[in-house]
Amino acid sequence: MKNIILEIRAGTGGDEASIFAGDLARMYQRYAVKRGWGFMILDETGGSLGGYKTMVAKITGEGSYEALRKESGVHRVQRVPATEKAGRIHTSTATVAVLPEVEPKAVELNPNDLEVSFSRAGGPGGQNVNKVETAVRITHKPSGIVVSSRAERSQHANREAALGVLRAKLYDRQIEAESKQLGADRRAQIGTADRSEKIRTYNFPDDRITDHRMGVKVGNLERVLDGDLDVLFNKFSKKTNN
């Protein structure tokens, strides 16, 4: 699989969770640049003090899904927020979902199940976005899934991008339902698709990242958050090969 949909949502922790979600988004974007992949933010809701409440992006490039598919889950940060006057360490979370982009034929969409609305796109993109209703919001009525895209300059392009996100989410639900019907061994092989699993802690006071699934710890936290995820991934490979 070549392309993925990356969704990051702020979890517990209020404004600090949104700031952390922004840190994670920047980390993946910089990693994509290092790997020569494309990175386009399709939709975003900013936090009141920066970062994101939600952010959905499309990453395009060979090997992107294989490299990032295990990033799905709850990421936890422990640090003193910029807004904390007493110097206390806070714990906040953000949820990451990495979904493979699927072919249109893999997920059938009934037009009657879709509620589509258009609006003026906000944010960067030139004068065009403020004058024309190019942003697209699609509600899949049977599942209640709502997706949006505002990054493209045309209504048609944003509609196609939003449909791509919707297909990825519906496919992910399908895989999750199938995994629940399988035995424990098979489920362990393909994963549970459970986004509630805490997978990693970013501990700023100790300058340490702990990956709870792999039992791996690395230092130089800022380097990883600056996009050098290979520091972690290389340790994963060594652990797996030992």
Task: Tell me the per-residue pLDDT of 217-228, one tens digit each, with 9 for 90 and over.
Answer: 999 999 999 999
Could you tell me which residue, 181 or 161, shows the higher pLDDT? 161
- In this structure, are residues 203 and 210 in contact, taking their beta carbons and an 8 Å threshold? yes
Helix residue spans in the chain (DSSP H): 15-35, 64-68, 128-131, 155-180, 184-190, 221-225, 230-241
pLDDT tens-digit map of 123-137: 544 444 445 678 899
Cα–Cα dist 201/170, whole Å:
29
pLDDT at 183: 57
pLDDT at 145: 94
Domain map of the chain by residue range? 3-101+191-241, 105-180
- In this structure, are residues 122 and 150 in contact, taking their beta carbons and an 8 Å threshold? yes
Q: Please state which CATH number belongs to domain 3-101+191-241.
A: 3.30.70.1660
Give the sheet arrangement for strand 73-79, strand by strand. 38-46, 52-60, 3-10, 90-100, 73-79, 198-203, 208-211, 216-218
pLDDT at 237: 79
Could you tell me which residue, 131 or 51, shows the higher pLDDT? 51
Domains 3-101+191-241 and 105-180 share a fold: no
pLDDT at 160: 92
Q: What percent of the chain has pLDDT over 70?
A: 86
User: Quick one: CA dihedral 225, 227, 231, 234, positive or negative?
Assistant: positive
State which CATH number among 3.30.160.20, 3.40.605.10, 3.40.1390.30, 3.40.50.970 fits the domain covering 105-180. 3.30.160.20
Query: Picking from 19-23, 115-119, 200-204, 219-223, which range would have the lowest pLDDT averaged per residue?
Result: 115-119
Element counts in the chain: helices (H) and strands (E): 7, 11
Strands 198-203 vs 73-79: parallel, antiparallel or unpaired? parallel
- In this structure, are residues 111 and 183 in contact, taking their beta carbons and an 8 Å threshold? no
Q: In the predicted model, what is the mean pLDDT of the chain? A: 86
The pTM of the full predicted model, rounded to 2 decimals, is 0.84
pLDDT at 105: 86
